[in-house]
Amino acid sequence: MSDLTVAVFDAYGTLFDVHSAVARLADALGPEAPRISALWRQKQLEYSWTYALMQRYVDFWQLTCDALDFALASVGRQGDVMRDRLLDAYRTLDAYADVPAALDGYHRRGLRVAVFSNATPEMLDRALDAARLRDRVDEVFSVHSLRRYKPDARVYADAAKAFRVAPAAIAFHSSNAWDAAGATASGWSTRWINRAGGPAEYPSLAVPAVRDLAQAQQAFLGDEREPEIP
């Protein structure tokens, strides 16, 4: 796809492993650790959609804190001393192993690299620095200034304007099927990074799925071998 000029990445779940915070503290949390991590992520996203539909903006860090409180309460750990340690770990999540090579690969092919996220600028600054990705990212666009969340179509339109390109010139990567669907509906060239190998979603939009960032890059940069769909 020679008309692509910018490779855009969702942050949480795509660049950063959202479950790495709990994984670091799994021994201290005990057998409930996987449930805490799953509920934390589920409620974080659910809250963003719910507040968006109510047209009441609450920033993503506050939603992250509220979601953790729910997850801890769900396993009987209200007011747990681990709360602050978990939040500190979330500020500095691990990057997935395939991220540095993917970002470098796009730069070598002459594309700009950008991050597009529901997270606040402060969250993204800390996460990029902690994962040592800052020098590999040319631009960062947070929805925070818009006070609305993905997959609102207006967010994708404003992001494309911020990146100074037509929607079709964006190679977008997201591990969230709903985000990939929102970008596709807005005219972006999109790959769903189906890290968990889940079943197809949003079939009416025909969002292409790949297993990892390397497969996405292969598809975006014109390799005629169609990547295997998980």
Residue 113 pairs with which residues in a beta bridge?
7
Q: Which domain holds residue 129?
A: 6-16+95-220
pLDDT > 70? residue 179 = yes
24 and 124 share one domain: no
Mean pLDDT of 87-92: 97
In a domain, 144, yes or no: yes
78 and 191 share one domain: no
What is the reported pLDDT for 223? 58
pLDDT > 60? residue 227 = no
pLDDT > 50? residue 70 = yes
Instruction: pLDDT band for 222, please (50, 70, 90 cuts).
Output: confident
Give pLDDT tens digits for 90-118.
999 999 999 999 999 999 999 999 999 99
105 and 207 share one domain: yes
Check 10, 94, 98, 179 and give the catalytic one.
10
In a domain, 229, yes or no: no
pLDDT > 80? residue 155 = yes
In a domain, 227, yes or no: no
10 is catalytic: yes
What is the reported pLDDT for 230? 41
What is the reported pLDDT for 44? 98
What is the reported pLDDT for 109? 95
Mean pLDDT of 112-126: 98
Compute how many other C-beta atoms are within 10 angstroms of the C-beta atom of residue 169: 18
Give pLDDT tens digits for 71-82.
999 999 877 789
Cis peptide, bond prior to residue 151, ω within 30 of zero: yes
164 and 66 share one domain: no
Greatest mean pLDDT range, 74-83, 172-181, 219-228 = 172-181
What is the reported pLDDT for 225? 42
Q: What percent of the chain has pLDDT over 70?
A: 96
pLDDT > 50? residue 18 = yes
Compute how many other C-beta atoms are within 10 angstroms of the C-beta atom of residue 34: 13
40 and 103 share one domain: no
The average confidence (pLDDT) of the chain is 94
At 223, list the tokens. Answer: 């390799």
Q: How far apart are CA 157 and CA 152, in angstroms?
A: 9
Task: List, in order, residues 6 or more apart from 221 with CB less than 8 Å away.
Answer: 1, 4, 105, 109
Place of tokens 């631009």: 139
Residue among 27, 20, 34, 195 nearest 94 (CA): 20
- Residue after which a domain boundary falls, among 70, 91, 112: 91
11 and 125 share one domain: yes
55 and 119 share one domain: no
Question: 60-74 vs 33-53: helix axis angle to the nearest 10?
Answer: 130
100 and 213 share one domain: yes
pLDDT > 50? residue 224 = no
- Residue after which a domain boundary falls, among 61, 91, 121: 91
114 and 201 share one domain: yes
pLDDT > 70? residue 128 = yes
What letter would DSSP give residue 204? G
- Residue after which a domain boundary falls, among 75, 91, 107: 91
Residue 16 pairs with which residues in a beta bridge?
12, 95
**CATH number of the CATH domain containing 25:** 1.10.150.240
DSSP 5-59: -EEEE-SBTTTB-TTHHHHHTHHHHGGGHHHHHHHHHHHHHHHHHHHHHTT----
Give pLDDT tens digits for 31-62.
999 999 999 999 999 999 999 999 999 999 99
The domain tally of the chain equals 2
123 and 38 share one domain: no
